[in-house]
Structure 1
Amino acid sequence: MLKYLQHSEIDFTLWDACVQRAEQHLVYAYAGYLNVSTGGSWDAIVEMQHGKYVSVFPLPFKKLLTEPFIYQPFHSQQLGLFTTPESRETTVAPYLGQIPKRLRKVYLQLNTGNTFEMGHLPKGFSSVPRITFHLNLTYAYEVLKESFATNLKRNIKKAKKEKFEVTETENLPDLIKLYRQTRGKELKEVKDRHYALFQKQYVFLQKNSLAQLLEIRKNNELIAGALFLKQPGKLIFLFSATSETGKQHGAMPFLISRIIKQYAGTPTILDFEGSSIPNLARFYSSFGAKPVTYLSVSRNNLPWYLKPLLK
């Protein structure tokens, strides 16, 4: 039986036990990460059996004026339905059907495990396919390297000639600074509050040993860095930045090749988290990563005068 729970009714211990046992296990759905990412503004639909949660479906929400709406939190690419072997309701549609009508605007990105478990969407809902790229690291590094594109191998050689060293760090502020000086300048929709939230998310990840931050410096100047979210069976390429010097010398390809080498031969999927942007898609696929589909679902029953404010 499915039940809608308000945030105050959710047992976080039962919640995390379910997410960690789920086939679709993702750190984004941990109660602590959701609490940080949403400021504690999330409800949920759960399936309960014998006093424990066997399926969970988080519903992050915000308010515009007095209008609550469901949204996808920052740095949480996928959420959706998380099921365990005891689950009886294993398709997404019944959970969407439990979302109260008062929540007239809904936008959620489901996880890759939900793509073929949708069921018939309730009236008013639609879905759109999105793409991420996965690289299976089960094989030895020498085997994985055979699938690297020629241009990628060339860039890695450039970095080797520079004798770059990839080091672990906890210095996220420097990486954020580099990002804001480079690609971040083009992303006007990413505000100071998003970077402040990212710092809080990183604190949670660090505290729970769920993050691996790598960097490359040249003459003590940061030229490339990347934050990987790590969980059993999966690495997620969450955030990165490269300077012009780093681009010229193949720093990011070299950094990613190092983490591939570190986890090669283990039952791990490297999720590049995107992308539909052609240049990024080519870059991720150059490592041998394959496209994997996930879906976004939405409905918008807002009155006409609110729709432009909540696109």
Structure 2
Amino acid sequence: MKWLAGTWTSEQWAQWVKASPWDFPYDREEYADALGKTWGAIVGEDFAWPMAYRRVGIFQTAYMPFGMQQWGPVGAHAGRAAQLLDATRFIPGAFTKVDLQIHKPMDWVTCTPRWRLRGGRLERWTERPNFVLDMSGSYESIHAAYSKQLLRNLKEARQHAMTLFEHDTPETLYHAFERYQGKRYTIPEGFGSAIRQAMYHLLHQGKGAVWSVYGEGNRFLAGAFFAFSGNRVVLLFSAISDEGRATQAMAHLINEFLVFAAGRWTYFDFEGSSAPGLARFYGSFGAVNQPYLRYQRWSLL
């Protein structure tokens, strides 16, 4: 294996993605390029592990750009734990800090989350939750697995006038997020431009859609950006107003999308699910936890 700073061909990267045991929008070369970050990859036989890197002060770091939950590896051997573990030896030593999130190999053996010392560096592997719904069957089969709480929420939503739009804009969605979620927590610098670049890129590729729900008087209640990648749909980004939260508008929106998507794709990926409340909400649709990995490394020397 070796480190390459973008010296592969687009055709080669596309072949690695096609041969991968999974299909995520983040893994495609054009998606990563659309985010405008400098990135390279650890490359071996039928294997490539991408990572963005930058200089912060006097240090170089490998990191996850905004707009990506988990990134790589890709290739026919990407699903092998041994390949991934071996690849860590080829991460450039100049990277003082490494903090990456990766697809979990099928034969991965869960290890201790404690830090360990290896070659003058501290490193650790941890698992992060992500909820995925199998929607390969009919909508009726999906609905049959809904929790009682979700059924109550959908009943509540039906008590309110709601209009569904299937072709809203990323700007509308992001401004709603900024207005309502911005009151609850600080939005990191650079997040807004990155997520909008990602959404516009996917729309232009025909691989995304913005669905929104509005109440009376054209009041925004909830919205979501769905990214399409092979047999997977990813809930890439969403926003909800205070009124939408009270009227269960997001439950209504996702339910309506599942009516449309059931049987068209195999998986509905809820993406980030670290908050307990979100995990319960995603699980109420019948989604199950399919963790991804986080790899962290600090140089001591």
TM-score (norm 1): 0.87
| 8 Å Cα contact 1:80/1:108 also seen in 2 | no
Q: Of 218, 221, 226, which residue of structure 2 is paired with 1:220? A: 218
Deviations 1:222-269 (A, max 9, x none): 211001111111111111111122122221101000111112124511
Deviations 1:140-176 (A, max 9, x none): 1111111111121122122233342322124111211
**Range moving further from structure 2, 84-93 or 275-284:** 84-93
RMSD: 2.5
Whichever residue aligns with residue 185 of structure 1, its letter is K
Distance 1:274 1:21 in 2: 25
CA positional deviation for 1:122 = 9.0
2:80 matched to 1:83? Answer: no
Could you say which residue in structure 1 is the equivalent of 2:59? 67
| 8 Å Cα contact 2:212/2:224 also seen in 1 | yes
Distance 1:155 1:167 in 2: 20
Could you say which residue in structure 2 is the equivalent of 1:149? 147
Deviations 1:191-246 (A, max 9, x none): 2x321222212221111112121001122122110011111111111111111221
Whichever residue aligns with residue 265 of structure 1, its letter is G
Q: Which runs of no fewer than 5 residues in structure 2 stay unpaired?
A: none
2:197 matched to 1:205? Answer: no
Could you say which residue in structure 2 is the equivalent of 1:295? 293
| 8 Å Cα contact 1:56/1:82 also seen in 2 | yes
CA positional deviation for 1:270 = 0.8
Q: Of 273, 276, 294, which residue of structure 1 is paired with 2:271? A: 273
Distance 1:20 1:184 in 2: 38
Deviations 1:270-301 (A, max 9, x none): 11113221111111111111111211011111
**Residues 31 and 300 of structure 1, relative CA distance in 2, 3 Å threshold:** same
| 8 Å Cα contact 1:184/1:190 also seen in 2 | no
Distance 1:30 1:262 in 2: 25
User: What is the aligned-residue identity percentage?
Assistant: 27
After superposing on structure 2, the runs of 4+ consecutive aligned residues of structure 1 that deviate more than 3 Å are 85-90, 112-115
What are the equivalent positions in structure 2 for 1:101-116 lying under 5 Å apart? 101-113=93-105, 116=108
What are the equivalent positions in structure 2 for 1:140-219 lying under 5 Å apart? 140-191=138-189, 193-218=190-215, 219=217
Distance 2:130 2:79 in 1: 26
| 8 Å Cα contact 2:233/2:265 also seen in 1 | no
Could you say which residue in structure 2 is the equivalent of 1:128? 126
**Residues 215 and 144 of structure 1, relative CA distance in 2, 3 Å threshold:** same
Distance 1:264 1:297 in 2: 34
| 8 Å Cα contact 1:114/1:294 also seen in 2 | no
| 8 Å Cα contact 2:173/2:238 also seen in 1 | yes
Whichever residue aligns with residue 298 of structure 2, its letter is N
Could you say which residue in structure 1 is the equivalent of 2:38? 41
2:3 matched to 1:4? Answer: yes
**Residues 223 and 58 of structure 1, relative CA distance in 2, 3 Å threshold:** same
Whichever residue aligns with residue 24 of structure 2, its letter is L
Whichever residue aligns with residue 55 of structure 1, its letter is F
Whichever residue aligns with residue 269 of structure 2, its letter is D
TM-score (norm 2): 0.89
Could you say which residue in structure 1 is the equivalent of 2:244? 246
| Partner SS, residue 169 of structure 1 | coil
| 8 Å Cα contact 1:92/1:117 also seen in 2 | no
| 8 Å Cα contact 2:48/2:78 also seen in 1 | no
| 8 Å Cα contact 2:234/2:271 also seen in 1 | yes
Distance 2:201 2:105 in 1: 25
**Range moving further from structure 2, 201-210 or 126-135:** 201-210
CA positional deviation for 1:34 = 1.1
Distance 1:89 1:238 in 2: 27
CA positional deviation for 1:89 = 8.8
Distance 1:89 1:113 in 2: 5
Could you say which residue in structure 2 is the equivalent of 1:51? none
